Amino acid sequence: MPASNHTELRRYQDLELSVVVAQTPHTYLVTARSSAGQASGHATLDPASDEWRAALDAIHREDTDEALFFDLGTRLFAALFPDDVQDAYRASLGYAQGEGQGLRLRLHLTQAPELAALPWEYLYDRQRDLFLGVSSDTPLSRFIEPQQVFPAPPPPSGALRLLTVISDPTDLEDYGLPALDAEQELKTLTQALKRLQTKDLLQEVPPLRHAIRAEISEALREHRPHVLHLIGHGAFQDGRGKLLLEDEDHYALEMSDRAFRELLEGHPDTRLVVLNACQGATRAAGDAMLGMGPQLVSRGVPAVVAMQYPVYDRAAISFTREFYRALAHWYPIDVALSQARRAVYLDFGPDRRDWGVPVLFMRDREGRLFTPPAAKTDTQKVERIRTREPADVPSPVLSIDPADVNPTRLRQAMIEVYDKPGLVALCNDLAFKYNDRSVEYDSLRGESLSAKVLYLIDWHRRRRRMADLVRKVLADFHFLAEELA
């Protein structure tokens, strides 16, 4: 599987955001730590208040519009970044951007568990006019500190392997839950993954249409999947989530987070669990899967993606396709999830809840769940350029006037340093920046990478946006300044 130079060269600085309960009711101490320093502040919020409940109920009912998410995201931002903490965030972001890097946001909520039910994925920075969760510049995760040292991920071989498991007990009505349309769920997932399988980037092992413990164990042993994607129902009891799997007679079998973790024990290849509430799921199912995420991560699963609400066909296809495509190109999982949220955001707009539904829990600080195989050809290209005698030019990004860059020289440089996944990521970033899907990779004319690069440059030249393209390329590969000067 190809590795992406784009993702290898992109660096992130860290902003740790810890929230703990303070002595005053409904007050929390928020502490921010980054290379720019440390700051603390107090936030006051009551998740059970009428104001918060009204917003959460509207999201659950899908009675939403853009104004609701702007308002909710602004209130979430104010709660997480009070006073000096917001100053620390902006200083950290500015410092990272000055270095041509992103800022990874890690949210620590284990000391304030009652806040875990709030949808932090809708955080909105009004000053930057940006939802943080959809930007690969600010990948967001709910970080779980590991309780012990876990082994390094095993090197993968071949395509990313995905095992889909569907839980469809016959007695769901006893739990007050609707029956699951297993065939439709599988069709949705298969449609989303078709192109990746065609290009040998992803291998979907035979799916399990019944989530029977013994059959799951056998599939894990036989296929050694990297990702376990579970579609089904959950239950939330006594403050803890449970999955509803199936017994041998296809009746519901309640499985706690601890039991589910034991099911995964001894299968180190499985680095990611995706918990997807089926399309007819109740609110309790989303709460259950959301509650199970941190429990699984704290017990050894490197990362869990849990859907806090059901995601329907078209949005599910958009999310799944983009998420697994980014993972198949070895993107860090938090960056892959940001790109998937952004794809849904662009496809369906900010007025629907879909783009903020996925929640990421992880314990790996860099978010790299898999060790990519070496891409010798592409690495040699980059190193060949890196090791040339440097031109007598000052700072790479600021020293070049984009208007003076020769398009032919830019094209030659881009062809040398961008492989296909890198160019896909570049185009996705630009599409989001411009809010224009005509600049996405698949919209570019031509079959070869060279032809698409030529069209991309011509697209920017015709719209007089060459400066934007040059700045983005130099942000990805700053050493190209000496090539373009």
Domains of the chain: 5-143 (no CATH), 160-348 (3.40.50.2300), 376-484 (no CATH)
pLDDT, greater one: 401 or 54: 54
Residues in the chain: 485
Closest by Cα among 164, 176, 300, 174 to 232: 164
Under 8 Å between Cβ of 445 and 452: yes
In angstroms, the CA 386 to CA 478 distance is: 10
Residue 11's φ and ψ, nearest 5 degrees, are -115, 155
Local confidence band at 310 (pLDDT 50, 70, 90 cut-offs):
confident
Neighbour count for residue 256 (Cβ, 10 Å): 15
The pLDDT of residue 69: 96
76-134: per-residue pLDDT in tens?
A: 999 999 989 999 999 999 999 888 889 999 999 989 988 988 999 999 999 999 999 99
Q: Helix axis angle, 420-434 relative to 333-348, nearest 10°?
A: 50
Token representation of residue 213: 């413990």
The stretch 296-322 carries a mean pLDDT of: 83
Segments of 333-432 assigned E as strands = 358-362
The pLDDT of residue 148: 67
Place of tokens 């709460």: 287
For β-strands 12-21 and 102-108, DSSP reports them as parallel
In angstroms, the CA 109 to CA 181 distance is: 35
Residue 162's φ and ψ, nearest 5 degrees, are -125, 125
The stretch 319-330 carries a mean pLDDT of: 85
pLDDT, greater one: 178 or 256: 256
Closest by Cα among 328, 105, 361 to 202: 328
**Mean of per-residue pLDDT scores for the chain:** 82
pLDDT, greater one: 482 or 353: 353
Token representation of residue 408: 């032919």
Q: How far is CA 390 from CA 316, 385, 401, in A?
A: 47, 10, 18
Number of H helices, E strands in the chain: 16, 16
In angstroms, the CA 432 to CA 475 distance is: 16
In angstroms, the CA 422 to CA 4 distance is: 6
CA 216 to chain centre: 26
Lowest mean pLDDT among 18-32, 147-161, 425-439: 147-161
Query: 46 by DSSP, 3-state: which?
Result: coil
The stretch 233-260 carries a mean pLDDT of: 82
Q: Is 109 exposed, middle or buried (0-12, 13-18, 19+ CB in 10 A)?
A: buried
H or E, element range at 85: helix 84-98
Neighbour count for residue 381 (Cβ, 10 Å): 17
354-383: per-residue pLDDT in tens?
A: 999 999 999 988 888 876 554 344 455 445
Query: 276 by DSSP, 3-state: which?
Result: strand
At 467, the amino acid letter reads: A
Specify the pTM: 0.74
In angstroms, the CA 204 to CA 328 distance is: 12
